[in-house]
Structure 1
Amino acid sequence: MADLEQLNANDHAGLRLGDLPGRRPHFVQIVASEFAAAAAVCPIFLTKNADTGQFYAGAMFGFEPGENLLDATEGGARLFQPLDLERQGFFIGPEGEVLVDPAHPRFSSGRGAALFEGDGQPTQAARRVQQALGRLQAGVAETDAFIQSLLASKLVEPIDIDLSFDDGRSLSLGGLYTVSLDSLGELEDAAALALFRAGQLQLAYAMAGSLKQLSRLAALRNDRLAA
């Protein structure tokens, strides 16, 4: 377990918030408030936590570990930066305080944005991290409630993905789940209205609609192979 310290200007004025080393993960947990932005660029799936067996939502950036197909698009601009990556190296403590792991790799280069101004006030970079932590903390409960509503209404279905690429390789992806639009269309009016009132119907359609990004990711992979 990392040695976490409460973030403060005295002890952490010298920390520099560098980029995350290496490629971003190919699948990253996201929360409900991120669905709209994520669905515009990549597929969103449910999968199960290997340790707890509980469902969580994630955004897919590539088809296998170490592959991130969005990093090089549009001149390298990050089209969608998940909160869970934005806050890497930082945590929320039991009293709501911000904790930092000074040994985290994103601080190792000694380059990047400072966390504190000369007068000890947090910089814009530090405030971004604080906002990401706050949105994550609020979003986990909201997302869990959404997933439980889907399960209660029997709207979750497994999806098998089989892909073939220009280099002759084939990939089969398992352990992924999505929203069943057929079951959604068969919901009784009261159940559908309850999902709508809770803001969950929009999330369900965002998740289902994001599946069209699978073909976009596959095209980006073929483009990379051709290059």
Structure 2
Amino acid sequence: MSTLVALNNQLHQSIRVNIQAAEIQGSHLNMVPVVLSEFLKLAVQFPIVLTKDKDTGRFNCVALFGFQAGENLFITHNQWNSLYLPLQIRRQPFFLGKSEHDESQFVICIDTGSKSIQPENADASVNTAIFDVDGKETAYLKNIKSILAELVNGEEPTQAFITTLASLKLLQPMQLEITFASGESTRIEGLYTINEEHLNRLSTTDINSLHTQGYLSFIYTMMTSIGHIYGLIDKKNKRLAGN
């Protein structure tokens, strides 16, 4: 159970974080939200698609790890097997919360209920300190802060990108029916991608506008990343075969 509290260099000076245990908390996730700044790194291995909130109608960009809820095909032997870890995975067990005194300000919170939290006397070779003996931030915490900053700073540009795609009718539902080597089949619903036909029909003015905003490269990155669906199918086939 998550227990989020504001990070404090006195209260939390002695605890350590098992980074591998923190990252493995994503083993039950088949997708996570992502921001534009990590698209190029994600596109090396993950399909980048969109999901739509049924209640609000809001779209979100996500990296896909598996074909069904709870399935992460990038976890093998309780470890991530990927060249890049999405920011939402790397920031565990830290979160950003609103300040009690000023809601326009963010504070770093830590999930003290996370299994990755270790006591002061934990093995330093596999567990990392948050603060040093003087209560100052370690290099590890400074890196976590940069990750959280990238996430919060990336929310608005990513939503602006999505809004532009929707306004130009460049989003379409993905139609995927996959039969695996075992004979098991699945139908993928609720995911969206770029409508290439509509993209090719855009006016020169719209294309120039997308280029000026820097959106064309993100669009093509998303389109290229869809090819990693075949990699996911291969991973699924190997898992079904017991490999």
- Between 19-28 and 115-124, report the one with greater CA deviation: 19-28
> Is it true that 1:60 corresponds to 2:75 in the alignment?
no
Contact 2:34 2:63 in 1 (8 A): yes
Alignment length (residue pairs):
226
The CA deviation at 1:57 is 0.6
Change (3 A) 1:78 1:118: farther
Contact 1:38 1:80 in 2 (8 A): yes
Contact 1:15 1:102 in 2 (8 A): no
> Is it true that 1:98 corresponds to 2:102 in the alignment?
no
> Is it true that 1:27 corresponds to 2:31 in the alignment?
yes
1:161 matched residue in structure 2: 176
Task: Output the amino acid matched with 2:46.
Answer: C
- Between 104-113 and 209-218, report the one with greater CA deviation: 104-113
1:1-227 matches, within 5 Å, as 4-18=4-18, 19-20=21-22, 21=24, 23-72=27-76, 77-92=81-96, 93=98, 94=103, 95-107=105-117, 112-226=127-241, 227=243
The CA deviation at 1:175 is 0.7
Change (3 A) 1:50 1:80: farther
Task: Output the amino acid matched with 2:240.
Answer: L
- Between 157-166 and 10-19, report the one with greater CA deviation: 10-19
The CA deviation at 1:24 is 4.7
Partners of 1:105 and 1:48 lie apart in 2 by 31
The CA deviation at 1:51 is 4.4
Q: How does the TM-score come out when normalised to structure 1? A: 0.90
- Between 166-175 and 60-69, report the one with greater CA deviation: 60-69
Structure 1 residue ranges (4+ consecutive) displaced by more than 4 angstroms after TM superposition: 108-111
- Between 8-17 and 34-43, report the one with greater CA deviation: 8-17
Partners of 2:116 and 2:198 lie apart in 1 by 44
Partners of 2:54 and 2:129 lie apart in 1 by 36
Partners of 2:222 and 2:35 lie apart in 1 by 12
The CA deviation at 1:219 is 0.9
- Between 105-114 and 216-225, report the one with greater CA deviation: 105-114
Partners of 1:84 and 1:50 lie apart in 2 by 22
Partners of 1:82 and 1:24 lie apart in 2 by 15
Task: Output the amino acid matched with 2:112.
Answer: P
Q: CA RMSD in A?
A: 2.2
What are structure 1's unaligned runs of at least 5 residues? none
Partners of 1:76 and 1:155 lie apart in 2 by 33
Task: Output the amino acid matched with 2:5.
Answer: E
Partners of 2:110 and 2:42 lie apart in 1 by 27
The CA deviation at 1:179 is 0.6
The CA deviation at 1:117 is 1.4
* Identity among equivalent pairs (%): 32
